[in-house]
Chain A
């Protein structure tokens, strides 16, 4: 087989990689801000840190237009069905970031009503530590998510067939 010299500006890749590359730079976040972390989320969108440099500035308040759910703040048991419903209203492909100690673990709010980590009830891709996380940390989580999308995202969602994705998540019981 002859080796063909590629002209300049031509790359060969798989369609999966190309689509994942496109998806990763056009995330539309859904701000699910329930508490103080939401303020830092707003700061991340403001001009000083400017999340649009990473292609994720199109905050939409309808889940049907979004593909990235940013859960910023604690979620109580009464709110969890709402969160799940919003998550289900988002179209695939979609991702979820748990922003802050509260969304990731319940934080200091170890009380009867606060869900101890949203990952017990909905899938989470990236966790951001901090109380609240600085905008830089949130942007780092976005960059991490972009890397994750580019590494494993496929057009038809074949990455979900991986054995590591088959483990059933169960809520922890006390």
Chain B
């Protein structure tokens, strides 16, 4: 639940942000250019000091979707128990969003995970490497245009026979 004064403060600072509410959760859609600013305001002025998660949704071939990727930032205020979801959209080619590592050090691995699985670049990230998949992996498998059974990565390994130990 987000307090009305939080929504009010955000609207006062940034004008026409799109707020919506679903089952007691408040979501705000922020233009890509403003996302770092808005999250900084949420953290420094409005007390959302806990970054719960950063994740991403691929809207390829999704009904009614206009953009390819939706970035999702889940924040919490541990003083007041408020929660808010901030979203922004990015598109091909080379989808890039600003990194939040300067606001929350914990964003480091979360952004590496999004890079690993969705191929979203984070400008300003200190160390954008794969985190879950092996380093040699080429694709970003949670994208909807990646086949479920992969492109043969799971078969492309050395074989050990009895004679070889």
Interface residues of A (CB under 8 A from B): 76-78, 80-81, 84, 87-88, 92, 110-116, 120-123, 160, 165, 168-174
Contacts and interface: CB of A to CB of B under 8 A. Distances in A.
Nearest to A80: B157
Contacts of A110: 148-149
B160 A121 contact: yes
Contacts of A116: 154-155
Given A77-B154, A78-B134, A116-B154, A111 B149 contact: yes
Nearest to A166: B163
17 contacts: A77-B134, A78-B133, A80-B157, A81-B157, A88-B165, A112-B149, A113-B133, A113-B150, A115-B154, A121-B159, A123-B160, A123-B162, A160-B163, A168-B161, A170-B159, A171-B157, A174-B152
Nearest to A160: B162
Contacts of B152: 173-174
Nearest to A112: B150
Interface size class of B (residues with CB under 8 A): 20 to 34
Greatest chain A CB density within 10 A among B150, B156, B160 is at B160
> Which label, helix, strand, loop or mixed, suits the secondary structure of the A interface?
loop
A112 B157 contact: no
B2 to A, nearest CB: 37
B147 interface: yes
B141 interface: yes
B160 A122 contact: yes
Contacts of B150: 111-113
Contacts of A81: 157-158
Nearest to B134: A78
